[in-house]
């Protein structure tokens, strides 16, 4: 209903009513703009908080990985009989050394590492003196955690000569400071020409999938 043109109003009163109606409509429009601005501000605040939390989670979490993998045949440092009695290893056994590190800035907890050695696609049988699973527990930043797997001499020679292909599969499960579960899976293949292990697949997924 148009009150400005209502009966019984003088021209001056009609003009006043029209101006008042325009003011009300303008106030309604400004109120709608303020509501929209408040909604956009709330959305922007939510997005900022989400991005900030994501950046914090990325920066303030442990990152466990492999610094180095070496294939060695160490020299004897004590009597052969004593060594065999303590480790169960033959004098000529070589070993794979996996150097695991936490490359993040905060420590990890509940660390469990598994190292498998595959020769020509077949899992190397477990050797006495080396654990198939290592409970490494707390992993502080940049502290070495060395894992060993013993290799029979004949396998060692075949790998060095390039007659056999060695792949080391490193699997590590650990938790962050807030209890989040993280995983590390890496395949390292020995390259006899360079005498080094090179990355040949990996994933940070906890379902065991390797790419």
Q: Which of 182, 181, 183, 187 is nearest to 169 (CA)?
A: 187
With cut-offs at 50, 70 and 90, classify the pLDDT of residue 206: confident
Q: Which of 141, 134, 148, 147 is nearest to 64 (CA)?
A: 141
Burial class (CB in 10 A: 0-12, 13-18, 19+), 129: middle
- Verify that 88 and 172 share a domain, yes or no: yes
- Verify that 45 and 69 share a domain, yes or no: no
What is Dmax (Cα atoms) for the chain? 122
Left if phi > 0, otherwise alpha if psi is -120 to 50, otherwise beta: which for 8?
left
With cut-offs at 50, 70 and 90, classify the pLDDT of residue 133: confident
With cut-offs at 50, 70 and 90, classify the pLDDT of residue 57: low
Its domain, for residue 17, covers: 3-59
Q: Which of 192, 174, 87, 93 is nearest to 138 (CA)?
A: 174
Domain annotation covers residue 208: no
Domain annotation covers residue 209: no
The per-residue pLDDT for 183 is 92
pTM of the model: 0.65
**pLDDT tens sequence across 97-130:** 999 999 988 899 999 999 999 999 998 876 544 5
- Verify that 130 and 30 share a domain, yes or no: no
Tally of domains in the chain = 2
Domain annotation covers residue 167: yes
């Amino acid at each position: 209903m148009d009150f400005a043109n209502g009966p019984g109003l003088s021209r001056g009163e009609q003009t006043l009513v029209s101006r008042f109606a325009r003011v009300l409509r303008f106030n309604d429009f400004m109120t709608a703009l303020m509501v929209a601005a408040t909604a956009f501000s709330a959305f922007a605040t939510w997005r900022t908080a989400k991005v900030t939390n994501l950046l914090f989670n990325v920066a303030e979490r442990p990152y466990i990985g492999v610094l180095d993998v070496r294939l060695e045949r160490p020299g004897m440092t004590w009597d052969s009989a004593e060594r065999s009695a303590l480790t169960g290893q033959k004098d000529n056994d070589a070993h794979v050394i996996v150097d695991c590190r936490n490359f993040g800035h905060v420590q990890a907890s509940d660390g469990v590492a598994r190292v498998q050695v595959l020769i020509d696609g077949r899992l190397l049988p477990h050797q006495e003196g080396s654990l198939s699973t290592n409970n490494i527990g707390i992993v502080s930043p940049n502290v070495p955690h060395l894992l060993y797997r013993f290799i029979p001499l004949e396998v060692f020679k075949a790998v060095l000569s390039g007659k056999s292909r060695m792949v080391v599969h490193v699997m590590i499960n650990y938790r962050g400071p807030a209890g989040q579960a993280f995983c590390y899976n890496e395949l390292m293949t020995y390259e006899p020409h360079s005498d080094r292990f090179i990355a040949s697949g990996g994933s940070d997924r906890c379902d065991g999938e390797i790419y």
